Structure 1
Amino acid sequence: MTWNRIGAEQRQSIGIPQSTKADVAAKLINLQVLRALAALSVVVAHTIHETENLAVVTARQAVDAKAWYLGYGVDIFFVLSGFIMMHTAAAEFGKSGASLRFFLRRCARVVPLYWLLTSVMLLGAAAAPSLLNVPVGDISHVVASYLFIPDMRGANEIRPVLALGWTLNYEMLFYVLFALALMMPIRPGIIGLSVLMAALALVGTTIEPRNVQIAFWTNPIILEFLLGVYVALIFRIGLRIGPGVALALMAIGLIGFARFSTPWDDAALPQFLRRGVPAAVFVLAAAIGPALPLKRIVLWGVAVGDASYSLYLAHPFIVRPMRAIWAKAIGDHLSLGLFVIYATIGSIIFALALFRVVERPLTIYVRELGSGRKQKTEKRLSGVRPRDV
Structure 2
Amino acid sequence: MYKSLQACRGLAALMVVFYHARGAISQPKYFGESVLGNAFIFGGSAGVDFFFVLSGFIIFWIHAKDIGQPKRLGSYLAKRAIRIYPTYWTIFAVVCCAALAVPALRQTVPGDPWTLLKALLLVPMDPATPGVTATGAPVLTVAWSLQFEVMFYLFVALAIIAPRACLLVAALWVVNFFTCRTVCSFPLGFFADYRILLFALGGATAWLCRRTVASGAAATLPAAVARGGWRVGPWTDRLSLMLGVSILVAAATLHTLGLMDAGVVRQESLISLYGLASALIIFGVVKAEDRGAVHGAHAGWQVLGAASYALYLLHYPLISVVMKLMMVLGLRGLGGALFALAVAVSVSVAAAVLFHLHVERPMLRTLGAWRWPALRAAGSPRV
TM value normalised by structure 1: 0.78
Moved more, 205-214 or 113-122: 205-214
Name the aligned partner's letter for residue 35 of structure 1: R
2:176 counterpart residue number: 203
SS state of the match for residue 94, structure 1? coil
Gaps of 5+ in 2: 215-233
- Which of 220, 224, 227 matches 2:201? 227
Which residue matches 1:252? 247
Provide, for residues 156-183 of structure 1, a one-character-per-residue CA deviation record: whole Å limited to 9, x for no partner. Answer: 5422331111111000000011112223
Give 3-state SS (helix, strand or coil) of 1:213's partner.
Answer: coil
- 1 CA distance for matches of 2:199 and 2:188? 18
Partner of residue 113, structure 1: 87
Match of 1:138 among 93, 99, 111: 111
After TM superposition, give the deviation of residue 75 of structure 1 in Å.
0.4
Distance in 2, Cα, partners of 1:61 & 1:180: 45
Q: Please give the alpha-carbon distance, in whole angstroms, between the structure 2 residues aligned to 1:29 and 1:296.
A: 7
Name the CA distance, whole Å, in 2 between partners of 1:73 and 1:317.
18
What's the secondary structure of 2:69's corresponding residue? Answer: coil
Say whether the 8 Å CA contact 1:202–1:218 is kept in structure 2. no
In structure 1, how many angstroms separate the alpha carbons of the residues matched to 2:168 and 2:40? 36
CA contact (8 A) 1:310 1:355 kept: yes
Does the C-alpha gap of structure 1 residues 343 and 157 become closer, same or farther in structure 2, counting only changes over 3 Å? Answer: closer
One-letter amino acid of the structure 2 residue matched with residue 64 of structure 1: G
- Confirm or deny that 1:343 pairs with 2:344: yes
SS in 2 for 1:159: coil
Tell me the TM-score normalized by structure 2: 0.79
Distance across 2 between alignment mates of 1:286 and 1:299: 17
Task: Tell me, yes or no, if the aligned pair for 1:197 and 1:223 is still in contact at 8 Å.
Answer: no
| CA distance 1:42–1:198, change in 2 (3 Å) | farther
Distance 1:198 1:69 in 2: 32
Correspondences of 1:78-97 after superposition (within 5 Å): 78-97=52-71
Whether contact under 8 Å (1:51, 1:62) holds in the other structure is: no
Q: What is the letter of the counterpart of residue 280 of structure 2?
A: V
Query: After superposition, what is the alpha-carbon deviation per residue over 1:341-375, rounded to whole angstroms, capped at 9, x for unaligned?
Result: 2211111111111111111122222233342x49x
Structure 2 letter corresponding to 1:176? L
Q: Percent same amino acid among aligned pairs?
A: 22
Are 1:173 and 2:162 an aligned pair? no
Change in 2 beyond 3 A, CA 1:47/1:306: same
Q: Which SS does the other structure have where 1:149 is aligned?
A: coil
Distance 2:109 2:270 in 1: 28
Seen in structure 2, the aligned counterparts of structure 1 residues 331 and 60 have a Cα distance that, compared at 3 Å, is farther
Among 24, 40, 54, which residue is 2:14 paired with?
A: 40
> Structure 2 CA distance, aligned partners of 1:129 and 1:47?
24
Aligned length: 349
1:237 CA displacement: 1.3
The match for 1:128 is 102
Asked if the contact 1:204–1:219 (Cα under 8 Å) also holds between the matched residues in 2, the reply is: yes
The amino acid across from 1:344 in the alignment is V
Given that 1:141 and 1:152 are in contact with CA atoms closer than 8 Å, whether structure 2 keeps it comes out as no
Deviation at 1:385, TM superposition (A): 6.7
1:160 aligns with 2:160: no
Alpha carbons of 1:223 and 1:328: their partners in 2 closer, same or farther (altered >3 Å)?
same
Q: Is the aligned partner of 1:30 residue 2:24?
A: no
Cα 1:326–1:131 shift into 2, 3 Å: farther
Offset of residue 199 of structure 1: 4.0
> CA 1:388–1:331 in 2, change beyond 3 Å: closer, same or farther?
closer
Structure 2 residue 308 is matched with structure 1 residue 308? yes
The verdict on how the C-alpha distance between 1:264 and 1:319 changes in structure 2, with shifts beyond 3 A counting, is: closer
Range with bigger deviation, 150-159 or 111-120 = 150-159
Contact 1:201–1:223 (Cα < 8 Å) also in 2: no
What's the CA shift for 1:193?
Answer: 5.7
Q: Partners of 2:203 and 2:89 in 1: how far apart? A: 27
Contact kept, 8 Å, 1:223 with 1:272, in 2: the verdict is: no
